[in-house]
Structures are given as C-alpha cells and as structure tokens.
C-alpha cells in the first residue's frame, strides 16, 4: 500500500512538472524570435457628456447611488464612453482612434475613479491594434498614473504605464479633455 501511495505522489509530481513546463513553453511562443519594443506616444481623449451643435455625446452615465444625483464626483456613479483620441487638444484634429471603456467612482468622498479603457487605433500606423488600460484615476490630482495591462495587433503582450493630465475640465457639464502619455513595452 505504501508503494502505491509513493507511485501516486510521484505521478502527481511528474504531471505537475509537465503542466508547468507546457505553460512556460506556450507563454514563450508568443514572443519567440521577437525583440521587446518600446513605444512612447501622446494623444488627447475628448470625454463629452454634454452635446454641442457640432459634437455628439461620447460619455453617458448608466448607474449611480440610489436617491442621489448621478454625477462624476458621486460615489458609485458608473459611466460608459466612446471618446475620440486625437493628435492635439483640438477636437477637430486628426483622429487616431477611439477610447472605449467604463469608469466608476470608487471613493466614498468622490475623488477617485476606477477606469477600464481600450484604445482602439484606426490611424495608419496602428490600425486595428489596441492598448488596454486599467487602474485608479485619482481624478482631482493634476497628473495620475495607470497601468497598461495588455494589447493586440502591434501591441501584442503590451505592458507599461500611462500618465493622465486633465487639460480641460468643465465639471458642471461633465466635459473633459485628457492628455495621455503612454510608455508601452510590446513584441
């Protein structure tokens, strides 16, 4: 009986080692033969909740704390957005793609957002590629950092960070323009 138990333990150990080696081989396949690249980029995200004569709404509130006004600075407010990302602060400048995502105010005092965003590029250089962002956006600070957690296309296996700077903010109308500076490592 003891020898059967030993054989079972050895079999499980061999199986565990095989699974770990297979996982390591699969993860290295994605970058095999490719050199790690560093891309730095800056662009502007136009987050518009109030329509103008020329522009549509690109950000809508979809949920909030019961029996309170749903607002960007209210704990529990949840937004969905499809914002233009452009080369300059001008909303009519060259569009690089779209920022698709959600953010929710996660601080009881209303000062922090948790953001999830996919930058979907449509410009010539990165057409069809994406960069995925996630993190705490300390909304009231002049500059904040969030994580680059993934990517597709030219940004496959991306990781890195992004700094966000609010360059225009109209809290009563819930309109903002954010400058994004990304440092992305990818294959």
CATH number at residue 45: 2.40.480.10
For the segment 155-163, the average pLDDT, to the nearest whole number, is 97
Judged against a pLDDT cut of 80, whether residue 54 lies above it is answered with no
Q: How confident is the model at residue 146 (pLDDT cuts 50, 70, 90)?
A: very high
State residue 116's pLDDT score: 97
Dump pLDDT digits (tens) for 76-93.
Answer: 999 999 999 999 999 899
Q: Judge whether 88 lies within some domain.
A: yes
Q: Judge whether 7 lies within some domain.
A: no
State residue 134's pLDDT score: 97
Q: Among residues of the chain, what percentage have pLDDT more than 70?
A: 80
Q: Judge whether 26 lies within some domain.
A: no
Number of structural domains the chain divides into: 1
Residue from 171, 170, 175 nearest 56 by CA: 175
Q: Judge whether 131 lies within some domain.
A: yes
Q: Judge whether 25 lies within some domain.
A: no
State residue 172's pLDDT score: 82
Range of the domain at 175: 37-186
For the chain, what is the mean pLDDT? Answer: 86
SS3 labels along 98-141: EEEEEEEECCCCCCCEEEEEEEEECCCCCCCCEEEEEEEECCCC
Q: Judge whether 113 lies within some domain.
A: yes
Judged against a pLDDT cut of 50, whether residue 26 lies above it is answered with no
Q: Judge whether 30 lies within some domain.
A: no
Q: Quick one: CA dihedral 43, 48, 51, 57, positive or negative?
A: positive
Q: Is 137 exposed, middle or buried (0-12, 13-18, 19+ CB in 10 A)?
A: buried
Judged against a pLDDT cut of 70, whether residue 126 lies above it is answered with yes
Q: Judge whether 159 lies within some domain.
A: yes
pTM above 0.85, yes or no: no
Q: How confident is the model at residue 37 (pLDDT cuts 50, 70, 90)?
A: very high
């Amino acid at each position: 009986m003891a020898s059967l138990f030993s054989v079972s333990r050895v079999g499980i150990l061999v199986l565990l080692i095989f699974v770990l080696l297979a996982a390591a081989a699969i993860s290295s396949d994605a970058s095999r033969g490719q050199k790690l690249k560093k891309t730095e980029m800056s662009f502007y995200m136009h987050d518009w909740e109030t329509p103008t004569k020329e522009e549509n709404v690109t950000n809508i509130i979809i949920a909030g704390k019961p029996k309170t006004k749903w607002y960007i600075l209210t704990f529990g407010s949840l937004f969905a957005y499809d914002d233009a990302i452009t080369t300059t602060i001008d909303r009519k400048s060259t569009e690089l793609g779209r920022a698709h995502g959600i953010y929710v105010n996660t601080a009881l005092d209303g000062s922090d957002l948790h953001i999830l965003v996919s930058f979907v590029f449509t410009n010539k250089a990165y057409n069809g590629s994406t960069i995925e962002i996630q993190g705490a956006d300390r909304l009231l600070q002049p500059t904040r950092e969030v994580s680059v957690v993934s990517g597709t296309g030219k940004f496959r296996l991306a990781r890195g960070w992004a700094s966000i700077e609010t360059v225009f903010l109209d809290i009563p109308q819930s309109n903002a323009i954010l400058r994004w500076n990304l440092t992305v490592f990818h294959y």
